[in-house]
């Protein structure tokens, strides 16, 4: 035999709902709370110097940087036929700027240079954070 009446020690759903509505009414009636100041303002004395000291903690963290010359899609059949001396056509045109990626995110574009028999890249355009966000939105 089951007891259909709620136990006096267990709160019912209606009591929970009433309590939540009462909390909301109190919160709406109370004056707006001042937001917690998690980050120090730069205008505070020594604030900028303290922020620079905190920034120094992350300056030695390594990141992965890659320069992309171009991309292409080929079938596995064509991939298996590649041999020494094969040429793979890329989607980038000669003289077109190459993408500079840090941890997979495009941060700049540039052109190839050779310095002391080593390849390098001369940055020609830095991608601003707002431009990055605009590209993500597309």
Containing structural domain, residue 70: 63-137
Residue 130 lies in a domain: yes
- Is-contact 91 71, C-beta < 8 A? yes
Residue 96 sits in a domain of what CATH number? 2.30.330.10
Could you tell me whether strands 105-115 and 98-102 are parallel, antiparallel, or unpaired per DSSP bridges?
antiparallel
pLDDT digits (tens, 9 = 90+) for 56-101: 888 888 999 999 888 899 999 999 999 999 999 888 888 888 999 9
Residue 117 lies in a domain: yes
* Residue 16 pLDDT: 78
Residue 110 lies in a domain: yes
E strand or H helix at 134: helix 129-137
Residue 125 lies in a domain: yes
* Residue at token pair 């041999």: 83
Instruction: Count up the domains in the chain and report the number.
Output: 1
pLDDT digits (tens, 9 = 90+) for 19-61: 877 887 777 776 666 666 666 565 555 556 676 777 788 888 8
Residue 23 lies in a domain: no
Give which of 73, 71, 118 is closest to 99, Cα–Cα.
71
Q: Answer yes or no: is pLDDT of 13 > 80.
A: no
What's the average model confidence in pLDDT over 103-125? 90
* Residue 95 pLDDT: 82
The terminus-to-terminus CA distance of the chain in angstroms comes to 62
Tokens describing residue 81: 């036929």
């Amino acid at each position: 035999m089951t007891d259909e009446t709620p136990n006096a020690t267990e709160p019912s759903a209606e009591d929970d709902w009433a309590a939540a509505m009462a909390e909301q009414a109190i919160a709406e009636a109370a004056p707006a709370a001042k937001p917690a100041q998690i980050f120090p303002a730069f205008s505070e004395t020594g604030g900028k110097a303290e922020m620079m000291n905190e920034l120094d903690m992350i300056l030695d963290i390594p990141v992965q940087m890659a320069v992309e010359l171009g991309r292409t899609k080929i079938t596995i059949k064509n991939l298996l036929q590649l041999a020494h001396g094969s040429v793979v056509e890329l989607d980038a045109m000669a003289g077109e700027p190459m993408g500079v990626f840090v941890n997979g995110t495009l941060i700049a574009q540039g052109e190839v240079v050779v310095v002391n028999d080593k390849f390098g890249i001369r940055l020609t355009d830095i991608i601003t954070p707002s431009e990055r966000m605009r590209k993500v939105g597309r």
